[in-house]
Amino acid sequence: MSIQTAIVTGANSGMGLATTIELAKQGYQVIMACRSEKRGQEALHRALHQSGSSRIELMLCDLGSLDSIRQFARRFREQHDQLDVLVNNAGVVMIKRKETSDGFEQSIGINHLGHFLLTLLLIEPLKAAKQGRIVNVSSGAYKVGKIHFDDPHFHKGYNPIKGYAQSKLANVYFTRSLARRLAGTSVTANCLHPGAVGTSIGVNRSTGFGTRIMAFASKLPFFLTPEEGARTAIYLATSPDVAGVTGQYFYQQKQEQLKPHALDDAAAEQLWTWSEEQVGLQPDERL
């Protein structure tokens, strides 16, 4: 039986690391897609030790850089013929408005556009798998989200809640649009709300601002551990119960009905077209 391969983005800490360890324990070959070489290597050692597996590797990928994403996808396709699981886990909450290297507001740039491009560049190896699975980590914050098509990068009136909620609704729209485009193939796409998890998502990528706040918050009794928060992602990545399920939203390993505005297929298609333009998708890369 051939070894199944998984990619986990944002795998150097929190739910990404927990997901990596559990998938490795289940026998998957796991590629940890991380932005930082130093933090990635530290996490790789932890993952190897805690999983007892030797089938984990680190590959650098900065979801805030279209060039880095393209390099990662190219390297992966050169080394692997198929991809069984893609867990789009990485995410940020930006207290102050900042831009990616490509000029995107970071919440929509990293949480949505980065994963949008990465996923589309990996569609062929996903199709080559017996049953490829795309798992997008969204959030219940989608419920208060709106895609601000007039100013999606918030050049005016930015606030963290508005930016994060927009990006999480984008994850839901992306999942549903993906599922429609992949209908009739062996690839499924689902998204999830992990619950309130104490991770480093609110920590500034450059300055480390917020580290103490998040460390304190993670100890509050209503916060889940990263391991608890990762359970639904692992369920969607591995369970035979959802082998044929696609285009759905899950919480606590159960399918949930989306709010009406998240079912707006016209808005989802508008977001898809905008996203293709933003990331410079080439004709042969489109679904």
Residues known to be catalytic: 164
Token pair for 245:
């399920």
Nearest alpha carbon to residue 260 among 172, 192, 178, 135: 172
Contact between 19 and 234 (Cβ < 8 Å)? yes
Token pair for 227:
């391991």
Q: Which residues contact 119 (CB under 8 A, 6 or more apart)?
A: 86, 88, 134, 174, 178
Q: Which residues contact 104 (CB under 8 A, 6 or more apart)?
A: 64, 113, 153, 278
Phi, psi of 131 (to 5 degrees): -150, 90
Residue type, 278: Q
HSE-up (13 A, CA, CB side) for residue 117:
29
Buried b (16+ CB within 10 A) or exposed e, 134-165: bbbbbbbbbeebebeeeebbbeeebeeebbbb
Number of residues written out for the chain: 287
Which helix or strand (DSSP H or E) is residue 251 part of? strand 249-251
Distance from C-alpha of 90 to C-alpha of 43, rounded to nearest angstrom: 14
